[in-house]
Structure 1
């Protein structure tokens, strides 16, 4: 905490060295000298504007320094420029000529340190806007991100989903939201993210080890959630959006407002959703997969010539049923036992100080996760078990009546403080360099009857340096990092009990490095190669478990001697694009030393099979292929295709569990910026083929192939000062009966979601 206070004081003290600010203005035209309405955006400052009908634009109050300015417009190639703003030149004029292109507009990638367009990035990062995911009928944010090749989800019904990136999940995939790492007991796959899609503008995915940038737990990749932007200075906007999902009789509604002055900006957004049990293609409902969610996001920003300071807060409450068997067929949205009630609070504070040729950024976060699980009271004394059956029934009825007073069977409270201080050094020749220090302080406390992991304290600290070297046709990027993690836990349960958990005190350290290159081989052909190491310290469940895990029906036993997982991944990609055609090929090979996994034994305790946490070396390999055809001048027509595959093996040549099946996705879509009185008219049809999954873990069952057909259409209409966005889509149109290989309901033979017709209406002012 002292470190945070000192760093904040340095930000304000250093602000006295800043000099006057500059303006940027100019005209944007096409090759025919016609004005273009385009977006002009400076990502480092999060400042931007829209050119007027004459192509003229102005951005005011730009601090001195070097910034990347992005010019983008539908139907034109995105332009990225680095401009210097100095005290000698307070008014900068930059006239831009944009070239027509059928390629989609590029966006600035935020999850990598140098904030460049994807085509300029050394590391390939996938990005999708949440609006784009919503158009395709995603019920939740996690369901939506599976549209990105190489990303899947471990699911329990619809309400619970955890990300899987190229076969790695749980603590091997780090989630960032509001610029800070999300901590919510992610060791378990029986609960969701605790982040609602409302107020999230886009999703970025780093596939592969990102420990250089993010430390432990980023061994498999990063899911980076970009928050909704503030309004442009001098503007106020409001919107309301409501969606209906026929399969779950579900509704999701969000209401937001954004307003900005010259220095102060404010936004707030609330969301509420409610769903009943989902129905499978076999025409039965999966009992207790119902869930509901409430979410509030708000933010305020102050920005002047001294600094940019942004404070954001997110509160999320999720109530999620835990399915056990197919029972009563109902459309009720009232939860049955067992169920979870999870509160998630995220408070983030970001301060950036701009010097003449450098910048200093401090990000601080506080995350509080309160996870409660309620279930039928099941503990009886031995003498009670010998009573007559009718006495048991009376006692059970009394327990059920009194359950609310007994409180949750399981309650975990996780408090996490994070900090991230980075300094963007003055550019030296063609070198851009960033150095930084990151840390975490976390406490875990138990308040319920059941104990999955003991009370514990975790402390992280990491230091890093990364540099980017730019040549005309080659970009190089390299970096090094050192991390230390300390885990101290308290003893749990009675010392002579068979499920006693002893206290531990462990320290883990790791040194990691990454190097990558991007080469423009021809005007149309781009190549990337990235070599990176990553690490993950064992989590509390792996180190200390000793008891029944009710959510998985396993008796789990940890190993306090487990060591770091350490990996090294090679990633190669080729991208070709011209006026009519885009093609990409990405391949990877990931070697993980001391991979931690849970293995069943032949023993049983309390009618649950015993599973031990063990280590072995592992290898994962595969990749993604992508194609996009957009024939010019038929710019409204698009055909997209992607294929993804991953194979995972242990050192003994057996297959890893929870590796997704190969998938082929084909989409035909049409888009018209203007169609009569309709704006942004679109329609699409998607056919997704998931192949047989025969290469399975030793205790998994193979999975049959299945095919899913989806389609949708939508448009927007201007009525006065309001814009109405209307859309309808259907997922699993043929009502296919299938089971995803990564469904936690698979062992019980329970099918995934059947057909759903979804409709949304959004009104923006």
Structure 2
């Protein structure tokens, strides 16, 4: 996996070269939305408030429908400690690069019948710092430095504030059923640093920012009940998400200027039935799901309009063991409707005024198998059909998108994307060695992308949505070796190539080829220096050119900066131990990212066109468990 980043405040997952609307984010198995049409729009879930994340690579439309064409990430909330009155931990973390403080606390408990869990964290960060290198804007005396960034050192307008929380109540009935009600909220305010001239002031006046405000609320009612050979898992989820953004040049300290104000309510009802052996099959899951979304756009700039989306689906996923071969197969039917509505759009474009409903009826399927060649070596193969319906944004966007320094234009005639994804893996697992090698191919019909029209408005490029058939081919390799009881070596490598099939143009925002080498140290210690640990990681990212029409590719032609990046190395260190202080275990850790303060631009860093990526960052963490 990779991440599309924007400073220290935004990270968007990339799975095998696909991101954004092609990656489904799930909360406890139910799809959620975070208006991910924007390349800088991060998921609205705090990692401190989840128990773990499960990543499914490749087309996952069989289980999760539209937007799972490239994969899915299931964020699982903390479980309830039913048998203990109280257990939890506190967190305090400080990051030196941007002066970020992250204090948080979470806890759980129960009496066997009733239970609870809660967590809250506040994240407060200042501006990030990059190596202080020469800049071109204002220009240096020599033209050969024109690729120098516009901004280095302390980057203005890159701070953020967040307060995020999660609270759940649970009940266990006499027959072992579990029922949970959960409320979660994510509240964020941040700025983005704009490229020059990106706002209201002339370039010589210095940096400018754009303020954004995000609020996300979720209420989930979930259950698990065994009845004979079937475990029933009902789930109801309500999500309210509001994204407000100022016009370019108006930072958040100035308050909201009503430029962009998009809010939706999404309701999901999902019922899964996990069954044991039946009809010669060993077990599996069948289910139904209905999602309805109502969106309004209140801003003075339309950008994404108001409208409604409905999706009804039925699916099944089954397993069968045949000797050393485990077969898995799935099938799903989706009926998807989407309609832009002028009545829910404050300043609708003509395409929204003329909008008519779009209907998509799609069948997807998957077939996979794992065969054990030996006790240690196995081979796995999968083939899956995926789909993704066009979004309100892609169909009807019309306006300046400050986050990408461009005007964007939708296309109401877009069709659904469909894909055929295949992969083949070899896996080796022994007591001291774990290794995996995978090759994959993903053929996508009607791949939706932004095309540079060659036009400009107010000095910004006009990008329009278009479609073409595309193909992605990639390979992944990972290996982990236990040298002895206290030393483990690891390595990984990744390459992915994606092209349009009509003209061989490269697809946008693919990760650069990369290699990682690392070691972890866990020496034994019985004294005060308990559970010592350390790590060192060296990463290499190859040079990469921006694809035609790629967001921020316009900076390859600007009088400063570049959207294409050079190769670079990064070195990270980590160390920690867990002493007992006054009878209480305290976990103390330090991590250093970019140890050598390397001057670089990450290809998936959206500031790459006009600023460097973050410099050295030392993160100090203290975790104190309690109760239990």
TM-score (norm 2): 0.88
* Alpha-carbon contact 1:712-1:728 (below 8 Å) kept: yes
| Residue 695 of structure 1, CA deviation | 7.4
Residue 198 of structure 1: SS of its match in structure 2?
Answer: helix
Structure-2 residue corresponding to 1:505: 357
Unaligned runs of at least 5 residues, structure 1: 1-150, 328-334, 379-399
| Residue 717 of structure 1, CA deviation | 2.1
Matched, 1:580 2:432: yes
Matched, 1:614 2:614: no
* Alpha-carbon contact 1:184-1:414 (below 8 Å) kept: no
* Alpha-carbon contact 1:286-1:326 (below 8 Å) kept: no
* Alpha-carbon contact 2:294-2:307 (below 8 Å) kept: yes
Larger radius of gyration, structure 1 or 2?
1
Change in 2 beyond 3 A, CA 1:257/1:221: same
Distance (Å, rounded) in 1 between the aligned partners of 2:84 and 2:425 = 43
Structure-2 residue corresponding to 1:314: 184
Structure-2 residue corresponding to 1:710: 572
Structure-1 residue corresponding to 2:9: 159
Structure-1 residue corresponding to 2:23: 173
Structure-1 residue corresponding to 2:244: 372
Cα shift readout 1:577-632 (whole Å, capped 9, x = no counterpart): 2233222101100000010101001222343322211110000011210111103x
Alignment size in residue pairs: 582
| Residue 375 of structure 1, CA deviation | 4.0
* Alpha-carbon contact 2:305-2:352 (below 8 Å) kept: no
Distance (Å, rounded) in 2 between the aligned partners of 1:648 and 1:297 = 39
Matched, 1:481 2:342: no
* Alpha-carbon contact 1:185-1:414 (below 8 Å) kept: no
Equivalent residue for 1:292, pick from 161, 176, 180: 161
* Alpha-carbon contact 1:693-1:702 (below 8 Å) kept: yes
| Residue 526 of structure 1, CA deviation | 1.2
Matched, 1:598 2:450: yes
Q: Higher relative contact order by CA 8 Å / sep ≥ 6: 1 or 2?
A: 2
Structure-2 residue corresponding to 1:118: none
Structure-2 residue corresponding to 1:348: 220
Structure-2 residue corresponding to 1:527: 379
Residue 680 of structure 1: SS of its match in structure 2?
Answer: coil
Matched, 1:543 2:395: yes
Cα shift readout 1:716-757 (whole Å, capped 9, x = no counterpart): 123455221111111100000111111222222x11010011
Cα shift readout 1:335-360 (whole Å, capped 9, x = no counterpart): 98521111111111111110122111
Structure-1 residue corresponding to 2:204: none
Cα shift readout 1:529-587 (whole Å, capped 9, x = no counterpart): 01101000001111112222222222222111111100001111111122332221011
Distance (Å, rounded) in 1 between the aligned partners of 2:252 and 2:295 = 31
Cα shift readout 1:181-203 (whole Å, capped 9, x = no counterpart): 12121111122212111121222
Structure-1 residue corresponding to 2:124: 274
Structure-1 residue corresponding to 2:612: 751
Equivalent residue for 1:463, pick from 301, 305, 314: 314
Distance (Å, rounded) in 2 between the aligned partners of 1:477 and 1:316 = 37
Matched, 1:440 2:283: no
Matched, 1:339 2:211: yes
* Alpha-carbon contact 1:369-1:415 (below 8 Å) kept: yes
Equivalent residue for 2:77, pick from 227, 238, 259: 227
Equivalent residue for 2:301, pick from 429, 450, 457: 450
Distance (Å, rounded) in 2 between the aligned partners of 1:401 and 1:625 = 43
Residue 48 of structure 2: SS of its match in structure 1?
Answer: coil
Residue 404 of structure 2: SS of its match in structure 1?
Answer: coil
Residue 238 of structure 2: SS of its match in structure 1?
Answer: strand
| Residue 704 of structure 1, CA deviation | 0.4
Equivalent residue for 1:302, pick from 171, 177, 184: 171
| Residue 431 of structure 1, CA deviation | 2.1
Change in 2 beyond 3 A, CA 1:376/1:589: closer
Distance (Å, rounded) in 2 between the aligned partners of 1:577 and 1:455 = 51
Residue 411 of structure 2: SS of its match in structure 1?
Answer: coil
| Residue 176 of structure 1, CA deviation | 0.9
Cα shift readout 1:253-283 (whole Å, capped 9, x = no counterpart): 1112211111111111110011111001236
| Residue 679 of structure 1, CA deviation | 3.5
Cα shift readout 1:159-191 (whole Å, capped 9, x = no counterpart): 122111111111100111233212121111122
Structure-2 residue corresponding to 1:640: 490
Distance (Å, rounded) in 1 between the aligned partners of 2:446 and 2:587 = 51
Moved more, 551-560 or 308-317: 551-560
Structure-1 residue corresponding to 2:535: 684
Cα shift readout 1:357-404 (whole Å, capped 9, x = no counterpart): 2111111111111111134789xxxxxxxxxxxxxxxxxxxxx99964
Moved more, 193-202 or 750-759: 193-202
Change in 2 beyond 3 A, CA 1:460/1:280: same
Residue 746 of structure 1: SS of its match in structure 2?
Answer: coil
Matched, 1:568 2:440: no
How large is the Cα RMSD of the aligned pairs?
2.3
Structure-1 residue corresponding to 2:517: 666
| Residue 494 of structure 1, CA deviation | 7.0
Distance (Å, rounded) in 1 between the aligned partners of 2:528 and 2:222 = 43
Distance (Å, rounded) in 1 between the aligned partners of 2:524 and 2:492 = 25
Unaligned runs of at least 5 residues, structure 2: 133-151, 198-206, 554-562
TM-score (norm 1): 0.73
Distance (Å, rounded) in 2 between the aligned partners of 1:720 and 1:553 = 55
Distance (Å, rounded) in 2 between the aligned partners of 1:410 and 1:681 = 50
* Alpha-carbon contact 1:241-1:254 (below 8 Å) kept: yes
Distance (Å, rounded) in 2 between the aligned partners of 1:401 and 1:657 = 30
Structure-1 residue corresponding to 2:193: 323
Distance (Å, rounded) in 2 between the aligned partners of 1:498 and 1:364 = 36
* Alpha-carbon contact 2:191-2:252 (below 8 Å) kept: no
* Alpha-carbon contact 2:283-2:319 (below 8 Å) kept: yes
Distance (Å, rounded) in 1 between the aligned partners of 2:582 and 2:604 = 48
Distance (Å, rounded) in 2 between the aligned partners of 1:188 and 1:744 = 11
Structure-1 residue corresponding to 2:230: 358
Distance (Å, rounded) in 2 between the aligned partners of 1:704 and 1:297 = 42
Moved more, 498-507 or 655-664: 498-507
Q: How does 1:66-105 map to 2 (within 5 A)?
A: none
Distance (Å, rounded) in 2 between the aligned partners of 1:177 and 1:676 = 42
Cα shift readout 1:632-651 (whole Å, capped 9, x = no counterpart): xx222100000011110001
| Residue 472 of structure 1, CA deviation | 3.9
* Alpha-carbon contact 1:662-1:690 (below 8 Å) kept: yes
| Residue 691 of structure 1, CA deviation | 1.0
Change in 2 beyond 3 A, CA 1:733/1:494: closer
Matched, 1:257 2:130: no
Change in 2 beyond 3 A, CA 1:588/1:377: closer
Structure-2 residue corresponding to 1:137: none
Distance (Å, rounded) in 2 between the aligned partners of 1:629 and 1:663 = 20
* Alpha-carbon contact 2:417-2:446 (below 8 Å) kept: yes
Distance (Å, rounded) in 1 between the aligned partners of 2:618 and 2:546 = 34
